[in-house]
Structure 1
């Protein structure tokens, strides 16, 4: 078994924001392998987020972001469980980052359920037309269209978009990590994005 030094724990804590004891346990569990320890902590964070997901998030904040030049503006409401967390620097930074992400990535909604049916039908029609034009067999077209719609959701739904500051993670994964780090349920409730001329 690898020796777990205080420096290793400190390094892992800096990378993940997890507690000292959690970092030490993750390194022990993964024989000192930092990358595996990070994955271990992220999985644990997901489990923690799921446990907390049912709890009421009646506090929080509305964060505003105006992009340089004033051509794009975002308002986002993020809920948490207590007023104490609503004033926490990590929570405030998360809210700011989500507002900036929305300005940059221009999501249509939080999740698939929020995308209007007519938008989905229009996309499906376009995909079908493209595939027929390419000469794809009719029996394959619907399967391919469903795959393209699945990718479309990932591109336009906030929670499934790659996070602009760390594209290997989705916004949902960043949210789960934040829940784990802060220790309260956090919910992105709604947002509005305004753009001059759009």
Structure 2
């Protein structure tokens, strides 16, 4: 019989070890909810070291590019590690490619993580949610909770590291990076990214091909 594991226990173990969410849940299930044994379980698998490595300096890495099928969406990503040796490893390249694909697949993502979202954006989102008609008739304390929940949801949508990984929705991009830190043994950080969408910001003409040819003949 599978032991029911609370979200709070998973969160606590994740904070203690830096391991991925699903890895923490599995470790707790395998140890019948015993956190100490779960920590040991994760350490044996090499998954409890990501948090300890998060403060190390990352000066190496690579710039990854990804062009989606049809060549209408492109992404450039800088991802860093500690040594040039790791930067050349296939696992690191695969991670970079997966993250670049994730960015291409998530048009709402604009920032690396929630702490990097400017305060001005957060204030604007709060103003938008506070002004919606569907909460006007609710008590002030209820309105506040609704706005907070909606804003938090919006911030998660904007944050790359909080996205569910497109190839395994059970984990986030943060979990994916932590898993690779555990395997590779070095700190890994996404530094910056940019997404290109063909024609973005340009006013598109509605003129069709036959009209264009007709205009050329007249001139």
Q: TM-score range by the shorter chain?
A: 0.7 to 0.9
1:27-176 to 2 correspondences below 5 Å:
30=30, 40-41=41-42, 47-106=48-107, 107-130=109-132, 132=134, 135-176=137-178
Distance 2:75 2:49 in 1: 29
Q: Any gaps of 5 or more consecutive residues in structure 2?
A: 1-25, 32-37, 201-219
Give the 4+ runs in structure 1 shifted more than 6 A: none
Contact map agreement 1:71 1:195 (CA 8 A) in 2: yes
C-alpha distance 118-190 of structure 1, shift in aligned 2 (>3 A): same
Normalised by the size of structure 1, how large is the TM-score? 0.74
SS of aligned partner of 1:193:
strand
Query: What value does the CA root-mean-square deviation take over the aligned residues?
Result: 2.8
Q: Could you tell me which runs of 5 or more consecutive residues in structure 1 were left unpaired when the two chains were aligned.
A: 1-25, 32-36
Question: 1:42–1:177: 8 Å Cα contact kept in structure 2?
Answer: no
Going from structure 1 to structure 2, the CA distance change for 1:45 and 1:135 (only over 3 Å counts) comes to: farther
Instruction: Write out per-residue CA displacement over residues 73-124 of structure 1, whole angstroms, 9 at most, x where no aligned residue.
Output: 1011110111111110011000000000000013110112332333323322
Q: 1:98 to 1:191 in 2, by over 3 A?
A: same
Report the TM-score when normalising by structure 2. 0.68
Aligned length: 166
Quickly say closer, same or farther: Cα 1:160–1:113, change in 2 above 3 A: same
**Alpha-carbon shift at residue 46 of structure 1 (Å):** 5.5
Which of the pair is proportionally richer in helix? 1
> Do the aligned partners of residues 114 and 182 (structure 1) sit closer, same or farther apart at CA in structure 2, a change above 3 Å counting?
same
